[in-house]
Chain A
Amino acid sequence: ETAVFQTPNYHVTQVGNEVSFNCKQTLGHDTMYWYKQDSKKLLKIMFSYNNKQLIVNETVPRRFSPQSSDKAHLNLRIKSVEPEDSAVYLCASSLGLGQDTQYFGPGTRLLVL
């Protein structure tokens, strides 16, 4: 049963455009994450929010910015996309930190032409 929802499923855009991905969790969790999964399936964390506060901000280009309106939502905006941004973006949530299991959404596949 899906409890972490992501939209859109798939997005095709051109270099230089702005895109925004949405993530919502209905698990009542305090922590949410954005991961990037590249074409080789490598998973790298980008951002993490706990109780609407940014707690992890890995080295990602400045064109990426997370946006959290409340604990249940964490969106990702990419300003001026580049070809290397083509990937699957996975949202996840966990009850707290560290030892708590992360539950993943279905992902948003981005293709930049």
Chain B
Amino acid sequence: GEQVEQRPPHLSVREGDSAFITCTYTDPNSYYFFWYKQEPGASLQLLMKVFSSTEINEGQGFTVLLNKKDKRLSLNLTAAHPGDSAAYFCAVSAGDMGYKLTFGTGTSLLVDP
């Protein structure tokens, strides 16, 4: 089945710096990709949903890159601020296993003011 590895598990950056998180997945049939943010004590909020056809996806204050050849999904938070401190999870859904979402292991991001 699908395996999703997420790195790094912990990340600490200064306010204004970039924060880069990467997930690698194994199933070449993976079709839909998601990034979720989980603030302390809260539930998961969707940051972005990405389709396999789009390699560069711009959000508000972040960019999601999809490299299908390397089976890699990345989240780049540009100019991080303390409000970005949270856990971030990638999730991958394979087109032929449409009912199952496999989550990465999570990255705990701390942005120092």
Contact = CB atoms under 8 A, between A and B. Distances in A.
Interface residues of B, number: 26
A98 B32 contact: yes
Interface stretch (B66-74, B77-85, B99-107): B99-107
Interface residues of A, number: 23
Interface stretch (A38-46, A63-71, A75-83): A38-46
Interface in A49-108: 50, 55-56, 90, 92, 97-99, 101-107
B21 interface: no
B93 A45 contact: no
A48 interface: yes
Interface string B16-30: 000000000000000
B95 interface: yes
A90 B43 contact: yes
Given A41-B87, A42-B105, A43-B89, A99 B98 contact: yes
A90 B99 contact: no
Contacts of A99: 31-32, 51, 93, 98
Interface of B: 31-32, 34, 36, 38, 42-46, 49, 51, 87, 89, 93-95, 97-101, 103, 105-106, 108
26 contacts: A41-B105, A41-B106, A42-B103, A42-B106, A43-B89, A45-B100, A48-B99, A48-B100, A56-B99, A92-B44, A98-B93, A98-B94, A98-B95, A98-B99, A99-B31, A99-B32, A99-B98, A101-B34, A101-B46, A101-B49, A102-B34, A104-B43, A104-B44, A104-B45, A105-B43, A106-B42
Interface of A: 31, 40-45, 48, 50, 55-56, 90, 92, 97-99, 101-107
Chain A to chain B: the 8 pairs with minimum beta-carbon distance, closest first? A98-B98, A43-B103, A104-B44, A104-B43, A97-B98, A99-B32, A97-B99, A41-B106
